[in-house]
Amino acid sequence: MSSARATNGKLSVVPNADSYFYESFACQTALSNGYNAITFPVKGPAGGSLTLEIQTKGACSADAYQSHFYTVSDLTGTTQTITVPLASFSGANSNAITSFVWSGFSGLSAIWEFGKIQFVCSTSSGSTSGPSGVISRISSSSIVSSKAPAPIGQCRNLLIDDWASQSRLTFLYYNAMLNPSSDDGTMESVLVDSTKNRVTYSPKDSSSYFYTQLGCTDTKNRFGGST
């Protein structure tokens, strides 16, 4: 962020092109606890948009998570309450929610304001309340488990990284195998386009680098390894 400030129950940010903020918490069984939506007030530039990412697991005991992405668009320029039904995140497990990430801000020179973020039990069938904003699903992607052995006599691909999440790469610093991945701050910028599963690295100079680790991986006769 170019700037970020929290006062009087509000978070005010001025984003850069690759800015994001997140809320992480202990794994929540939201549906079982009676919650079916997430809600938050936001004030952004008129006509502006942002991307909301939900991160869920197959079960709270699992290691890997899945990311699903929505765009909140056509903001009014005034404070409005956005309510996103959890069922809108197609394929997400609403009984194993670990994080939400806000990113993809338009209007980079504008001040964005956010209020209380909370799970709610919403009886409305719509996506928003108050001055309306439009919520449309743009994409979803999953982290595929890559550690299960292939059937005997068969080889399969080994997923190392799928560039599914900005926060996973540039805050948590791990890949789809849940192993370390980073540029150690040597890049000018690192921008993940989760809608296309691509990452763009902008080097500072010729000494810039990035890496991704697999851990000790036995590939022989499992992932196309030679004999």
Could you give the maximum distance between any two Cα atoms of the chain, in Å? 64
Residues 27-43: pLDDT tens digits?
999 999 889 999 999 99
Identity of the residue numbered 202: S
Q: Are 80 and 131 a contacting pair, CB within 8 Å?
A: yes
The answer to whether the beta carbons of residues 152 and 221 sit under 8 Å apart is no
Q: What is the pLDDT of residues 90-127, one digit of tens each?
A: 889 999 999 998 988 987 888 999 999 999 887 654 44
> pLDDT tens digits for 46-80?
999 988 889 999 999 988 888 888 888 889 999 99
- The closest alpha carbon to 144, from 136, 156, 132, 129, belongs to 156
Given pLDDT bands bounded at 50, 70 and 90, which one contains residue 9? Answer: confident
Q: What is the pLDDT of residue 156?
A: 61
187-193 and 134-142 as β-strands: parallel, antiparallel, unpaired? unpaired
Q: How many residues does the chain have?
A: 227
DSSP state of 87: G
**Whole-number Å distance between alpha carbons of 111 and 72:** 16
Q: What is the pLDDT of residue 124?
A: 54
Helix or strand (DSSP H, E) at 90: none
pLDDT tens digit string along 149-204? 444 555 566 778 888 888 778 777 778 777 788 888 899 888 888 788 888 999 99
In this predicted structure, what is the pLDDT of residue 155? 57
pLDDT at 225 over 70: no
Measured from the Cβ of residue 32, the count of other Cβ atoms closer than 10 Å reads 9
Q: In terms of CATH, what superfamily is 3-140?
A: Galactose-binding lectin (2.60.120.430)
The domain ranges of the chain are 3-140, 143-227
22 vs 157: CA distance, rounded Å? 31
Q: How confident is the model at residue 129 (pLDDT cuts 50, 70, 90)?
A: very low
Residue among 133, 10, 118 at smallest CA distance from 71: 133
Residue 142 confidence (pLDDT) above 70: no
Question: Which residue in this structure is represented by tokens 């982290």?
Answer: 143
Closest CA to 127 of 73, 172, 171, 168: 73
Which residues, listed in sequence order, are joined to residue 136 by a DSSP beta bridge?
A: 71
Q: How confident is the model at residue 141 (pLDDT cuts 50, 70, 90)?
A: very low
The residue that leads in pLDDT, 24 or 227, is 24
The pTM for the full model equals 0.58
| Contact assessment for residue 27 and residue 47, using Cβ atoms and an 8 Å cutoff | no
Buried/exposed 132-166: b ≥16 CB within 10 Å, e otherwise: ebebeeebbbbbeebeeeeeeeeeeebeebbbbbb
